[in-house]
């Protein structure tokens, strides 16, 4: 009974929110510069999304739907792609508990918070670990982020989340010198 009531309330909030969202200019989402640390045969790259979750995102995250932020990482040695991976940060809001649960796939961890500010901090951080022989002189790392459409029951249609990022995918590149001679 409570779940049905919560669903109806959320549906109304989402409908109202989507009408309001159409007036937003969107965010200028981007990445901070990538930093890297070498640990033997592992390299850890870190960055964060900047200015990505302002404006209407709080309403979106509180709608009760599972919201996914996608990341696509590509690592190249010279002209050869040696690694690619797509991973997500998944956000789910529980209206009864009034908290957010976040799954960070690249770290394989789940975090809960009731603070919207902490949620933004958590989902904006990217820390990706790549393990290989790493006997390359340099690696080129490219990271791209994007959002997919969500289906809104009350509108009976999909809502393109990329509208909130002005239909631009944030992207960052970094050349990392490893100091190994390829010869």
CB proximity list for 28: less than 8 A, separation 6 or greater: 51, 166
% pLDDT > 90, the chain: 68
Closest CA to 47 of 39, 37, 55, 56: 37
Residues in the chain: 183
With respect to residue 182, please indicate whether it lies within any of the assigned structural domains: no
Number of domains in the chain: 1
Residue entry with tokens 């033997």: 40
- The structure tokens 């709080």 sit at 58
Tell me the pTM.
0.84
Res 20: pLDDT: 45
pLDDT one-digit tens code per residue, 109-141: 999 999 999 999 999 999 999 998 888 899 999
| Tens-digit pLDDT profile for residues 36-81 | 999 989 999 999 999 999 988 998 899 888 999 999 999 999 999 9
Q: Which domain holds residue 134?
A: 2-177
Would you call 5 helix, strand, or coil by DSSP?
A: helix
Asked whether residue 154 is domain-assigned, the answer is yes
The domain that contains 9 carries what CATH number? 2.60.40.10
With a pLDDT cut of 70, the percent of the chain lying above it is: 84
Q: Which range (31-40, 130-139, 146-155, 163-172) has the least confidence?
A: 146-155
CA distance 141 to 34: 9
Does residue 82 register a pLDDT over 80?
Answer: yes
pLDDT at residue number 179 = 75
The dihedral of CA 44, 48, 49, 55: what is its sign?
positive
Classify residue 52: in a domain, yes or no: yes
Query: Of all residues in the chain, what percent are helix, strand and coil, respectively (each to 5)?
Result: 20, 45, 35
Residue 183 lies in a domain: no
């Amino acid at each position: 009974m409570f779940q049905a009531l919560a669903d109806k309330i959320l549906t109304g909030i989402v409908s109202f929110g989507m009408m309001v969202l159409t007036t937003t200019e969107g965010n200028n989402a981007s990445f901070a510069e990538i930093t890297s640390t070498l640990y033997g045969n592992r390299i850890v790259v870190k960055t964060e999304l900047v200015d990505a979750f302002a404006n209407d995102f709080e309403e979106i995250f509180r709608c009760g739907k599972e919201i996914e932020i996608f990341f696509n990482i590509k690592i190249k040695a010279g002209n050869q792609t040696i690694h690619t991976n797509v991973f997500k940060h998944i956000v789910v809001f529980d209206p009864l508990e009034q908290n957010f649960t976040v799954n960070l796939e690249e770290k394989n961890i789940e975090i809960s918070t009731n603070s919207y500010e902490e949620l933004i901090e958590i989902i904006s951080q990217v820390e990706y670990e790549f393990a290989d022989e790493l006997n390359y002189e340099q690696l080129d790392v490219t990271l791209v982020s994007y959002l997919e459409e969500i289906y809104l029951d009350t509108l009976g249609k999909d809502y393109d989340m990329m509208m909130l990022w002005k239909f631009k995918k944030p992207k960052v590149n970094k050349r990392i010198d490893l100091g190994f001679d390829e010869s």
